[in-house]
Amino acid sequence: MKKIEALPVALLAALALALPAAAGEFGASVGMDYSSGDYGTNETSETWYVPVVGKYEDGRLGLKLTVPYLRITNPSVGPDGEPLPCGNATVPSRKTESGLGDVVGAASYALLDGTGGGAMLLDVVGKVKLPTADEDECLGTGKTDYAIQLDAAKALGGVTAFGTLGWKKFGDPSGASFRNPIYGSVGLAAKLAPATTIGAAYDWRQKVTSRGDEISEMALFVSQTLDPSWKLQFYAVKGFSHASPDWGSGLIFSRRY
């Protein structure tokens, strides 16, 4: 499940790294993500994830804060694919919970800014997920998580290749012991027109629990620049494992100031 933090990580790398920001630039976005899957159970879990994102970039430094609203019917996994401790697929009636999700803060630094002859973009990114979601309402694990990753992008003729490699430290909820997985993404993006970009990304992550499954999913996306300040993005996701949704889709409106 994804990820604006509801999108595949590689999708964000392509859309963010391919467009370096001006010094002292603010940005904001709002998204709507829907996903559905049985996650290896006998019940279908449906999730709506609506994040509001604020971003500031100054030279090589970037800061981002994501504040989401979350609605889950028959909770099974959280927005980052982690098992929810109070999830129970055997409940006979469909249970729906909603409220504030986990707030995520991120800081990035451009090790390579794409201005050299190789035009390589390379960011190191640190993230912290704060347990603001209600654990008792099955909207989160109630624990703080940390992650560090490298995002890279490089133009190859008319195509941009991009990828992510990272490691996440999960906080362990009561009665559970989560592994700390390696995750990664790879993808390609190309311009159909000066204002239109299309692409595809594959997202993978190691299993979080011994009985769990790896995340394995593919996303197709299109990004349309509406004017110098506004951009609209659409994506669709297909999962290939029990830790991923069967399918999902979403929209993001973003603005630069």
Is the pLDDT score of 80 beyond 80? no
Mean pLDDT of the chain: 86
- Beta-sheet strands, E only, within the chain: 25-37, 45-58, 61-73, 96-100, 103-113, 120-130, 145-156, 159-169, 182-193, 196-205, 215-225, 230-239, 247-256
Residue with tokens 């595809």: 200
Average pLDDT over residues 229-236: 95
| Cα three-residue angle 60-31-173, rounded to 5 degrees | 85
Which CATH number characterizes residue 215's domain? Answer: 2.40.160.40
Percent of the chain having pLDDT more than 70? 86
Average pLDDT over residues 109-117: 80
Q: How many domains does the chain have?
A: 1
Q: Could you give the CA distance from residue 188 to residue 155 in angstroms, rounded to a whole number? A: 10
- Number of CB atoms found within 10 A of residue 116's CB: 8
Distance, C-alpha 132 to centroid of its chain: 17
Give the structural domain span for 20.
3-256
Lowest mean pLDDT of 54-58, 72-76, 245-249, name the range: 72-76
Q: Could you give the CA distance from residue 16 to residue 231 in angstroms, rounded to a whole number? A: 12
**Interval 205-229: pLDDT, tens:** 999 988 889 999 999 999 999 998 9
Q: Could you give the CA distance from residue 209 to residue 77 in angstroms, rounded to a whole number? A: 12
- Number of CB atoms found within 10 A of residue 22's CB: 9
Using left for φ > 0, alpha for ψ between -120 and 50, and beta otherwise, residue 30 falls in beta
Q: What was the pLDDT predicted at 90?
A: 47
